[in-house]
Structure 1
Amino acid sequence: MVSWSEVEKSEPEFAAKVRRLFDAHKHKTIATLRADGAPRISGIEAQFTDGELTFGSMPHARKGADLHRDPRFALHSATSDPPDDDSSGWPGEAKIAGRAYFAEALDGSDEPEGELFRADVHEVVVTALNTEGTALVVESWHPGRGLRRVERT
């Protein structure tokens, strides 16, 4: 398992950028796989706590059932359009892919409030524009490979 803390240890500046993008908005989007293999997109909240990336699922939610059946996921930060007058002002967007593992039931007073999942991180990507706003910059981190940067015009 690769925890979020391993990304932070390997590439602290990159990890901080990813966290800023994820923490900029409360709601994110997660992709899971339905029983028939088709993708499912759902809204979700995610947290970086004690070196772990975690996210929850409400009781009986389809995304939780998806993750129990097939733990592969892709998590996407909220995104916004680049400013019309200065595209270099766009902060970019971040994505994390991996496998989700059940961590614990979130207990409520009368019935479970949901489930908490912990991420095994397989890939972290930031897509943004260069300083001039003239090229797309894709930074990606993989365990064992580290950080790579590609600039596309």
Structure 2
Amino acid sequence: MTSWGQFRTAEPEFAALAERILQRGVALVIATLRADGSPRVSGIEVVLEGSGAGTELAFGSMPGARKGADLRRDPRFALHAAPADQSGGDLGDGDLKVSGRAVWGGPLTGPVTGDAFRVDLSEVVWTGLNEARNRLVVRWWTPASGLRSVERE
């Protein structure tokens, strides 16, 4: 299992960028797999819990929600944070994709009911522009291969 904290320890600058994107207030979308294998997309909010290497990327699902049922049956997911400004073509901080497995943690604690999940991280991918803003940059991190990057015209 790879936690968000392990990613943060391995690549602190890349993790800081990813966290800024996840927390900027733009709607996030999670893709899960239905029982028949077809995809389902749902809006979602995420939180970073804990500190240091013990930090977990976590989220919840409302009681009886199909998203939670999907993840308990097949924990694979993909999460997407779209660019902040989609109206003028400005990628801003870029977009972010996170994939992995959702680990069910039991019922949510506190005033909200539902299911709690934490992320077993497989991949973090960022797409944005270089500093000159003339090339597309794709950076991705996996636990096995670390951080890699390509630039495209």
Query: CA offsets, 1:97-116, max 9 Å, x none?
Result: 0000101202577xx71011
Residue 78 of structure 2 is matched in structure 1 by: 74
Shift of 1:47: 0.7
Q: C-alpha separation between the residues in 1 aligned to 2:87 and 2:77?
A: 30
Query: CA offsets, 1:69-107, max 9 Å, x none?
Result: 1000001124234674x94x7210111100001012025
Residue 16 of structure 1 is matched in structure 2 by: 16
Q: Specify every segment of 5 or more residues in structure 2 that has no aligned partner in the other structure, as ranges.
A: none
Paired residues, number:
149
Residue 148 of structure 1 is matched in structure 2 by: 148
Query: CA offsets, 1:14-60, max 9 Å, x none?
Result: 00000001100163110000111111000011011110000100000
Residue 128 of structure 1 is matched in structure 2 by: 128
SS in 2 for 1:131: coil
Residue 41 of structure 1 is matched in structure 2 by: 41
- Choose the corresponding residue for 1:64, options 61, 65, 68: 68
Q: C-alpha separation between the residues in 2 aligned to 1:138 and 1:131?
A: 13
Q: C-alpha separation between the residues in 2 aligned to 1:56 and 1:70?
A: 16
Opposite residue 33 of structure 1, the aligned amino acid is L
Q: Specify every segment of 5 or more residues in structure 1 that has no aligned partner in the other structure, as ranges.
A: none
Do the aligned partners of 1:82 and 1:90 also contact (CA within 8 Å) in 2? no
User: Cα–Cα, structure 1 residues 29 and 90, in superposed 2: closer, same or farther, change >3 Å?
Assistant: same
* TM-score, length-scaled by structure 1: 0.90
Give the fraction of aligned pairs with identical amino acids, expressed as a percent.
51
SS in 2 for 1:113: coil
Q: C-alpha separation between the residues in 2 aligned to 1:118 and 1:107?
A: 14
Do the aligned partners of 2:83 and 2:92 also contact (CA within 8 Å) in 1? no
Q: C-alpha separation between the residues in 1 aligned to 2:87 and 2:137?
A: 17
